[in-house]
């Protein structure tokens, strides 16, 4: 079932954040119906830097390609502000779609953008963003590739203006609407009341962010169709890694940390090493029993 068909079928889709092929494979194995390739998570892990517009289009495309080679799960991709104007957006959509993106998210921040839960964001005019959404829709090769339109206007222009922007982006052709960083349960309720009949709504859960944390089931009951947890995996792994390095520095051994990590064999089993080696061996054996060319000629 495609992501579009899944949205049409009803219910709520939970999409955990991933940032590489390993995290994507682990999330897919856990049974999630869709994954969210987070630009912030790529910045955190590949650059060791904050989400302030440092990640490039080509870097994200590289990650999409690696993730798609590993898992077939529908992939929602954070494309920031499209890396430029409407023409840049079109190039981004074409590149990401070819790489394997199932849905492409665009936001209305100016450049350089920053994480939606940081302060002092700035926006492009609503009409300009609507043009970028239209450009994205025009550039995609097929309508199974979804365009997610995000507005960061709640923190900049206020709640009502954010709703107006979202409606305009829907008119421009967006398949999914994402109003970033609502600040209360009341604002979540009001978003659904104002927009649920327009397009499917996506909501973002960020630990320590502006939006109150709620379980996906509760958000689904409110009317949100996609719930993303984009950076949670990085926050979890960063804390574990910090503890691991502190333990190794203090003790000079991994023995004291062994109950919190995979050993060599367990990790290889997790990533499919035995299966990969067996697959390769099967190709090594192909044709081994076939006659050689000179034998065929002699016959």
pLDDT in tens, 134-153: 999 999 999 999 999 999 99
Give the contacts of 223 (CB within 8 A, at least 6 positions apart): 192, 196, 201
Q: What local confidence, expressed as pLDDT, does residue 288 receive?
A: 73
Q: What local confidence, expressed as pLDDT, does residue 298 receive?
A: 57
Residue 3 near residue 74 (C-beta atoms within 8 A): yes
Does pLDDT of 208 surpass 80? Answer: yes
CA 209, CA 218: separation in Å to the nearest integer?
18
Q: What local confidence, expressed as pLDDT, does residue 299 receive?
A: 53
Q: Which long-range contacts (CB under 8 A, 24 or more apart) does 51-58 make?
A: 51/114, 51/115, 51/118, 52/112, 52/113, 52/114, 52/115, 52/118, 53/80, 53/111, 53/112, 53/113, 53/114, 54/112, 55/80, 56/83, 57/83, 57/88, 57/91, 57/92, 57/95
**Residue 115 binned pLDDT confidence (cut-offs 50, 70, 90):** confident
Buried b (16+ CB within 10 A) or exposed e, 205-230: bbeebbbeebebeebbebbbbbbbbb
Q: What local confidence, expressed as pLDDT, does residue 2 receive?
A: 93
Residue 243: other Cβ atoms inside 10 A? 12
Mean pLDDT of 160-167: 98
**Residue 274 binned pLDDT confidence (cut-offs 50, 70, 90):** very high
CA 133, CA 138: separation in Å to the nearest integer?
9
Q: Which of 196, 205, 212, 139 is nearest to 7 (CA)?
A: 196
Residue 18 near residue 37 (C-beta atoms within 8 A): yes
Phi, psi angle pair for 197, to nearest 5°:
-85, 0
Kindly tell me the burial class for residue 265, based on how many C-beta atoms sit within 10 Å of its own C-beta (0-12, 13-18, 19 or more): exposed
Mean pLDDT of 280-299: 71
Mean pLDDT of the chain: 94
Buried b (16+ CB within 10 A) or exposed e, 12-23: bbbbbbbbbbeb
Structure tokens that stand for 180 in this block? 């970033």
Does pLDDT of 69 surpass 80? Answer: yes
**Residue 196 binned pLDDT confidence (cut-offs 50, 70, 90):** confident
Q: What local confidence, expressed as pLDDT, does residue 63 receive?
A: 98
Does pLDDT of 290 surpass 80? Answer: no
CA distances from 93 to 61, 70, 232 (A): 10, 21, 26
Mean pLDDT of 73-87: 97
Phi, psi angle pair for 22, to nearest 5°:
-65, -50
Mean pLDDT of 10-20: 97
Q: What local confidence, expressed as pLDDT, does residue 112 receive?
A: 79
Looking only at Cα atoms, what is the longest distance across the chain?
84
Mean pLDDT of 2-10: 94
Q: What local confidence, expressed as pLDDT, does residue 111 receive?
A: 81
């Amino acid at each position: 079932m495609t992501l579009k068909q899944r949205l049409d079928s009803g219910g709520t889709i939970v999409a955990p954040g991933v940032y590489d092929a390993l995290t994507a494979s682990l999330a897919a194995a856990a049974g999630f119906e869709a994954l969210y390739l987070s630009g912030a998570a790529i910045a955190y892990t590949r650059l060791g830097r904050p989400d302030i517009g440092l990640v490039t289009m080509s870097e994200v495309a590289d990650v999409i390609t690696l993730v798609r080679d590993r898992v077939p799960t529908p992939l929602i991709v954070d494309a920031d502000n499209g890396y430029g104007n409407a023409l840049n957006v079109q190039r981004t959509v074409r590149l990401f779609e070819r790489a394997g993106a199932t849905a492409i998210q665009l936001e209305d921040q100016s450049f350089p953008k920053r994480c939606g839960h940081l302060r002092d964001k700035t926006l492009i005019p609503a009409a300009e963003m609507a043009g970028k959404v239209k450009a994205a829709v025009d550039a995609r090769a097929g309508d199974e590739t979804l365009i997610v339109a995000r507005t960061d206007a709640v923190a900049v222009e206020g709640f009502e203006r954010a709703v107006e922007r979202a409606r305009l982006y829907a008119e421009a052709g967006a398949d999914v609407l994402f109003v970033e960083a609502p600040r209360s349960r009341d604002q979540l309720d009001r978003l659904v009341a104002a927009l649920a009949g327009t397009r499917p709504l996506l909501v973002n859960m960020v630990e320590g962010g502006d939006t109150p944390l709620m379980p996906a089931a509760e958000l689904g009951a409110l009317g949100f169709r996609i719930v993303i947890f984009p950076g949670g995996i990085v926050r979890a792994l960063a804390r574990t890694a910090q503890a691991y390095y502190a333990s190794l520095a203090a003790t000079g051994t991994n023995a004291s940390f062994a109950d919190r990590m995979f050993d060599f064999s367990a990790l290889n089993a997790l990533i499919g090493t035995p299966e990969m080696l067996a697959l390769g061996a099967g190709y090594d054996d192909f044709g081994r029993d076939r006659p050689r060319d000179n034998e065929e000629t002699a016959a």
